[in-house]
Structure 1
Amino acid sequence: MESRLIDLEIKLAFQEDLIETLNLTVARQQQQLDLLQEQFRALYHQMRASAATAAESNPQHEIPPHY
């Protein structure tokens, strides 16, 4: 009986360690996701601003003088 109890305590200790490791991994991945989303938003806004500026200064979108 005592041997079974010791085995269960050992398993519990390993499970607690594994849960802590997994928790740290998930937290790190969430930080990476947050950073990637922030970078994506910045890139999206930069692209939109660049596209708007390019559309305004693009001579192909201007009406020719003879019209």
Structure 2
Amino acid sequence: MQDTKMQDLEEQLAHLTRTVEDLSDVVATQAGEIDMLTRRVALLMQREAEREADGGSHIYGGPEKPPHY
């Protein structure tokens, strides 16, 4: 009886250990994705700041009437 209980505990521990390892892999992957997205956002913010510094001349305002109107 005690051997069965010990075996059950060992199996539970093995499953929990595997779950922790899987979750660790997920967290590591997400950390890499967050780092990449953070760099992209910083780049986009820098580009937008440069466009604003240029007077916003590159901002698309939608369809404009041709000069002959």
Q: Aligned partners of 2:31, 2:42: CA distance in 1, in Å?
A: 16
- Give the TM-score, by structure 2 length: 0.77
Structure 2 unaligned regions, length at least 5: 58-69
Q: Which runs of 4+ in 1 moved over 2 A?
A: none
1:63 equivalent in structure 2: none
RMSD over aligned CA atoms reads 1.1
2:39 equivalent in structure 1: 38
1:48 equivalent in structure 2: 49
1:7 equivalent in structure 2: 8
Q: How many residues align?
A: 56
- Give the TM-score, by structure 1 length: 0.79
1:18 equivalent in structure 2: 19
Question: Percent identity over the alignment?
Answer: 27
